Amino acid sequence: MSFIAEHEREAGFVHVVLITTGSVASIKAPLIVEELLRYQKVKVEAVATKASLAFFTKGDIRNAGSRVWVDEDEWTGTFKIGDPILHIELRRWADVVLVAPCSANTLSKIAHGICDNLVTSLMRALAPTTPTYIFPAMNTLMYEHPLTSEHLRIVRDVVRYNVVGPIGKNLACGDVGVGAMTEWRDIVKIVVDLFQLAPKKQE
Ligand SMILES: Cc1cc2nc3c(=O)[nH]c(=O)nc-3n(C[C@H](O)[C@H](O)[C@H](O)COP(=O)(O)O)c2cc1C
């Protein structure tokens, strides 16, 4: 299945790329997709790291109304000059990028410019004009690790992404403290407010 931004973009629509990484909070991805698609003129494409697919299935996202792109879609093994390159096409398509959740690992990769999978190649190829939101989600001690604040500083002040959260609550790992992803409804609200989206009319 190939993806060509020019064919997939639709005039007047907001094109949302939802990136998921290997945090338990990825379990919320189908809810985020479903809720975004309750608004008029919105399209969503999900891009998942291998680890994030432990927490939802491609079928869950399909049922919510979208698709999931993974490393294997980038490396089909039959590249010819002129063929579309998935991470470039996805960044051409995106009007806004949500990294929800952002794992400690992917946060660190973004901060260091590493681009060794579809998610981080897409991030590295993003135009600075594409609004990009990072929603960290990790165990409290991972969050309090000195490297995390350094990575967040780089991502916020050097790369100039918007970092939202994490929030404090009972974490899935049993710890209580800061590290949970911002509530999924609040993530959707950021996009709704940014693009002044109107809900679809009831059928
Ligand atoms: C059940 C489970 C839950 C995890 N939850 C988190 C998490 O909330 N945040 C995090 O940063 N890493 C978490 N990890 C570790 C990441 O999945 C791991 O670091 C992985 O390499 C991340 O890869 P990715 O950034 O490419 O998705 C979890 C691992 C497991 C097995």
- The tens digit of pLDDT for each residue in 68-84 reads 999 999 998 888 898 99
State the pLDDT at residue 10. Answer: 97
State the pLDDT at residue 203. Answer: 62
The pTM (predicted TM-score) of the whole model is: 0.96
State the pLDDT at residue 78. Answer: 83
Distance 195 CA to ligand 1 centre (A): 31
**H/E segment holding residue 190:** helix 184-195
Atom of ligand 1 nearest to the CA of 171: 8
Distance of CA 73 to the CA centre of its chain: 17
> pLDDT band for position 171 (50/70/90)?
low
Average pLDDT, the chain: 95
From 4, 54, 173, 176, active-site residue: 173
* Res 108 pLDDT > 90: yes
CA distance 26 to 153: 23
Percent of the chain with pLDDT over 70: 99
Directed axis angle between helix 86-93 and helix 118-125, to 10°? 50
* Strand ranges (E), the chain: 14-20, 42-48, 68-69, 96-102, 132-136, 162-163, 167-170, 176-180
**H/E segment holding residue 92:** helix 86-93
Evaluate the omega torsion of the peptide bond into residue 128 and state whether it is cis, within 30 degrees of 0: no
User: Looking at ligand 1, which residue's alpha carbon is closest to its atom 15?
Assistant: 22
- The average pLDDT across 35-51 equals 98
* Res 1 pLDDT > 80: no
Per the annotation, the verdict on 173 as an active-site residue is yes
